[in-house]
């Protein structure tokens, strides 16, 4: 699996082997009608999603808290290798326009890497932060647990659409 250079002071990494093939995970990440079913750890929900799947294209979601608060997130795709790699950032919006801060108070770049592994996939998510404090804030928010729950939800949902 190809890898970006990980800086442990700035970056968080989540890896797992799952029992669905890479093209199912790719579809879950790139089709709004799929993404809304799994993207947030329950009881949070993703209530809207817009995807323009190309470098410079829009990646936008609206998350809803259990209390009903809505949190829009807008980003931009940077790199796409079908069924292998998806890179996006919330530091830019569609067309590579600079973004305002999101509701988290920090921005990041996310990299999802997929590699065939037997009948399943080696899934690797890397999240790059600007400062050690932002990395720590994201970790303290429950990065490992939250991304794990979301991946479990992704796998369970995609098994229903096979």
Average pLDDT over residues 68-73: 94
Residue pLDDT, tens place only, 11-26? 999 999 999 999 999 9
Q: Hey, what are 95's tokens?
A: 């067309």
What does the pLDDT read at residue 1?
41
The SS3 of residue 105 is coil
Give residue 139's pLDDT band: very low, low, confident or very high (50, 70, 90). very high
Q: Hey, what are 61's tokens?
A: 């979601």
* pLDDT for 2 beyond 70: no
Architecture of the CATH domain 11-160 = 2-Layer Sandwich (3.30)
Q: How far apart are the first and last CA of the chain?
A: 26
| C-alpha distances out from residue 48 to 21, 85, 86, 89, 94, Å | 26, 23, 20, 18, 17
- Distance (Å, whole) CA 57 – CA 50: 10
Residue 121 near residue 25, CB atoms below 8 Å? yes
Domain boundaries, the chain: 11-160
Give residue 103's pLDDT band: very low, low, confident or very high (50, 70, 90). low
- Regarding predicted confidence, which is higher, 101 or 33? 33
**Residue 104 backbone phi and psi in degrees, to 5:** -75, -25
């Amino acid at each position: 699996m190809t890898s970006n250079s990980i800086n442990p002071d700035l970056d968080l990494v989540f890896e797992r082997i799952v029992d669905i093939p890479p093209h199912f995970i790719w579809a879950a990440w790139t089709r709004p009608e799929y993404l809304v079913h799994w993207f947030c750890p329950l009881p949070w929900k993703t209530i809207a999603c817009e995807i323009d799947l190309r470098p410079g294209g829009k990646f936008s979601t609206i998350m809803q808290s259990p209390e009903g608060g809505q949190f829009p997130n807008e980003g931009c795709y940077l790199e796409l290798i079908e069924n292998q790699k998806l890179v996006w950032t919330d530091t830019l919006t569609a067309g590579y326009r600079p973004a305002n801060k999101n509701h988290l108070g920090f921005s990041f770049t996310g990299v999802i890497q997929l590699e065939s592994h037997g009948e399943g996939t080696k899934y690797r998510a890397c999240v790059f932060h600007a400062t050690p404090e932002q990395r720590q804030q994201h970790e303290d928010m429950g990065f490992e647990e939250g991304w794990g729950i979301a991946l479990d939800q992704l796998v369970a949902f995609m098994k229903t659409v096979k």
